[in-house]
Structures are given as C-alpha cells and as structure tokens.
Amino acid sequence: MINPLFNFLSSMKFAAILLFAFAFAIGYATFIENDFGTRAAKALIFNAWWLEVILILLCLSLILNMIKNNMFCWNKITILTYHLAFIVILIGAGTTRYFGTEGMMHIREGKMENKFVSDDLYLQIKVDDKALQYEYDKRLFLSPISNNNFTLPIDFLENDISIKYADFIPNVKDSLMDDADGGKAIMHLVVPGNNGMQSVFLLDGEQKIIANNTFTLNNPQEKAINLFYNDSLMLVANFDIESMSMLDRSTATLSKNKRNNLTTKKLYSAENLQFVVKEIHAKAKIVSTSKFLKMENGAEDALIVSVNCNGISKQIELIGGSGYVSPKNKFALGGLNFTLSYGAKYLQTPFYVKLKDFQLERYAGSMSPSSFASEISVIDGDKEIDYKIFMNNVLNYKGYRLFQSSYDKDEKGTILSVNHDWWGTLLTYVGYGLLFLGIVLTFFSYNTRFRILSMKLKLMKQKTFLLLLVFGFSFSSSIAMELEANVDSLLQANLIDATH
C-alpha cells in the first residue's frame, strides 16, 4: 500500500495534475479580481485553504521525486538544483503568507510616526466585566461571492459567549424602508459634501454631528440644532438661521432660542452651515444595502454578526473596510461590556519615521506629477538616520521595507507602503538564485538533457558534413570520368589517317 502511494505522489503525472490545478486557479482568480475586486480574489482563491493544500502537495511531490530518483549525487546536480529552487520558493511563499505583514503609513511634514494601517482586515473583539478583559483579533477574508460563515466561541470567566457570522454587505449604503415593523421617525437631510450634495439620515432620539454641527431629533441638547417631530416639524437653535424657498426664492429668519416651523423645499443656512429637509418618514427603518458588488480600497463594507452572551442575543452591524481603522462599536449584553470593530488595525514598527520634507515634481507645462519623494529620518533610540525614499529607492531597516506609495492632496504629507517579511523575502531570493544556478548548470553540465541533445546535434552535424564530403568526392570523380570519355571520343572522331 505504501509503495504504490509513494510512487503516485512522486510521479510526474501527480505533479502535472497539481500544476494544472494551480494554473487554472490563479487564471480564474484574474477574472474574479476584474469583476469583484482584489479582496474577493484573495478570499475565494489566494487565501483559500485548498490552494495551500495544492502547494504543500506540490512541495511534497518534489521532495519525494528527489528521493525516488536518487538526485543526491554529483551527476544529477542540475536537476537537484531545480527541485531545490522550487521547494525553497514555495517555503518562502508560505513564510510570507503566515508571518509577513503589509500596510500603509501616513506622515505629515514635521511629524514622526511608528504606526501603520494593516492591509489585512480583522474582527477585533474586547469583552470585560470592569475588572478583567478578554481581547482577540480574528483575521477575516470576506467577499460577496465566498462562503464567509464563521462562529467564534469566547472563553471568558465561564460565560457562554459566541460571535456568529450573519451577513456581509460590500460597498454599503443606507437605504430607507418605509412602513417597517418597529420603525420610527427618520428625517432625511441633504447637506453639502466633498462630492456635492449628500444625504444624511437623522433618527428619532439620535444625536449626530453633521457638517461640524450637532443635530438632534426629539433629543434636545445644549448648543445643538434641536429638531422636533410629532405631527409637525419644529427647530430650536442658539443662533439665527436664514431660510429660502426653492419655489419662489422668498426668504425668512428663524429666530434663535425659539420654536420655529420647519418645512421641506427650503434651504436653511447660517455661518458654515447649509441644509435642506428633503422629507420626514414617520415610521421607517434604515437598512444597509450594497451599491455594487466589486470591492474597492477605501470603500465601506458592513459585517453583520450575531453576539450571544449567557442566553441573550443581539445583532450588530460593523462598518469597516480596507485602508482605514474603523470606529469601535460598544454595547452591554448579558452583564458584560463588549467592544467590536471590523476593518484594518494599527501595527507598530520598532522605530519612528519622521518626514522632513515631501518633494513633488511635475512635467513642464502640466499639473501631472513626474516624480515624488520623501526626505525622512529614521529615529531608533539615540540613533537617527537620514534617507530619501522615492520610486525604486526603498528604505530597508530592521527587516522593514518602506516604499513611496502616494501623497496628500495639499502635498504636505506622504503615504508610505510598509512591508515586514524579512525571512519570506530572503527565502524567495535564495530560491531565485538556485533557479538561476540551475539554468547556468544546464549549459555546462555533461549530464543534462540539454547537454546530451547538444552533443547529439553536434554529432549529427559532423555526420552530415562527412556525408556531404563523400558525396562531393563521388560527384567530382564521376564528372572527371565523364570528361575523360568525352575527350577520347572527340580525339577518335578527329583522328587523321597517316596515309593522308
């Protein structure tokens, strides 16, 4: 039983099946990435357990093939080098997969930083009873087309706690559901944003900061713009607000510290404030929906989890995404305090990076950047090292590699890509070195297939040359004999008898 299994695992047929499966998987991943984004391709293909199994089996097949064909001898050094190269490259890839970290570090001019935002996304969990605390970060690879199910049991002071996956919504946006069971009053405001006018929803009893001003609905607060809704809509603020009708452009003033009627189709404005009441929903709910399925960096996604604690359940919506650290969601359940968040998290470097100056050059007569660079200082205790980071000029320090990635719009800050994967990078480069050595040995070793074919080709050329030489001599001899015969016949025909 063992011998047939060994022969199969070490066979070329098994290796060819694995290589075909691997090639098909990564080829299919390119289509997924195009349609659903890079993170979807990671979740479904690149970080899938079965792809890891394929690569582990391929590595095992190479090792068994080396043993089966007794490659540990001098006359097989070339093929051994190739096998070792691929094995080392696969081990380097595994090291990067499990121990490497990546992220982005943002630094403003004159400031220093030792934190960067992780590239991977996590479900961060904290549970406490005001005396003891439990913390756990679960790395997640979620997408709208993969199986995202998970259940996390939490062992904390003999409490029965679990967190279970409920739903995942990419590129989330808020949508209103009217006449919903358990619904309440929701006001739909329109305010100026970075990309034009944007919608904001204010829920009954909620307090929210909108355009740097605090708004409330049926929850009055001091120094806030307090809105009230029962059968009609009222406003109370501690400053005057001007109104303008969108129908006839008539204006009016809403007096401060008094109840004023509020209506739709009017623009309300004060210093650094503009808003429009689009509509009021008497019994509605805000539900999260997806704008589109393709996942993009910087877009907000929603992870919905069900938290169970000592027989009590609660569904929590966590907003997060790639490229930024999400706000914490705090709540109490079953006599314990929970803090949950989904998204990137901060990682630390063992040194500080200070941005001394950011430099941007543009093409002549154009606003398009031709190059940009960061003049930085690495501060490690009492040691300070100056360095300039730009395209193809990478900072290597203590196993960390810092690349120039992007910059702030006002050109006063830089965004550096951070990579910490010293062992994975080293092993991968060693594998590439062995691969190059194998190529070199292929040309110079006498025992390689390339060398044997080269010698056969050389021998064939020699045989062809000898054959042509023999044929040439034969052809020359036949021509000489024919010429001699022709000369004899001519002499015979023109011979004159001596009697004449």
Q: How far apart are CA 62 and CA 12, in angstroms?
A: 9
265: left (phi over 0), alpha (psi -120 to 50) or beta: left
How many CB atoms lie under 10 A from the CB of residue 316? 17
Q: Give the tokens for residue 407.
A: 């910059």
pLDDT at 211: 81
Which amino acid, 278?
K
Does residue 492 carry a pLDDT above 90?
no
Place of tokens 């803090």: 339
Burial class (CB in 10 A: 0-12, 13-18, 19+), 447: middle
Element (H, E) at 98: helix 77-99
Which amino acid, 449?
R
Instruction: Summarize pLDDT for 132-148 with one digit per residue, the tens.
Output: 999 999 999 999 999 99
pLDDT at 486: 59
Quickly state the pLDDT bin for 293 (edges 50, 70, 90).
Answer: confident
Q: How far apart are CA 250 and CA 338, in angstroms?
A: 51
Q: How far apart are CA 54 and CA 50, in angstroms?
A: 6
Instruction: Summarize pLDDT for 356-410 with one digit per residue, the tens.
Output: 999 999 898 888 888 999 999 999 999 999 999 998 899 999 999 999 999 998 9
Percent of the chain at pLDDT > 70 equals 91
Q: Give the tokens for residue 110.
A: 């004159």
- Listing from the earlier edge strand, what are the strands of the sheet with 233-236? 207-210, 213-217, 225-229, 233-236, 260-261
Instruction: Summarize pLDDT for 108-117 with one digit per residue, the tens.
Output: 999 999 999 9
Instruction: Summarize pLDDT for 274-289 with one digit per residue, the tens.
Output: 999 999 988 888 888 8
pTM of the entire predicted model = 0.76
pLDDT at 473: 66
Q: How far apart are CA 262 and CA 231, in angstroms?
A: 12
Q: How far apart are CA 161 and CA 179, in angstroms?
A: 34
Average per-residue pLDDT in the chain? 88
Percent of the chain at pLDDT > 90 equals 61
Which amino acid, 191?
V
Contact at 8 Å (CB) between 9 and 48?
no
User: What average pLDDT score do residues 483-492 get?
Assistant: 58
Does residue 335 carry a pLDDT above 70?
yes
pLDDT at 107: 96
pLDDT at 494: 57
CA angle 253, 257, 262 (to 5 degrees): 50
Does residue 465 carry a pLDDT above 80?
no
Cα dihedral 238, 239, 240, 241 sign: negative
Give 226's Cβ-side CA count (13 Å radius). Answer: 15
The SS3 call for residue 264 is coil
Cα dihedral 273, 276, 282, 285 sign: negative
Q: How far apart are CA 169 and CA 292, in angstroms?
A: 10
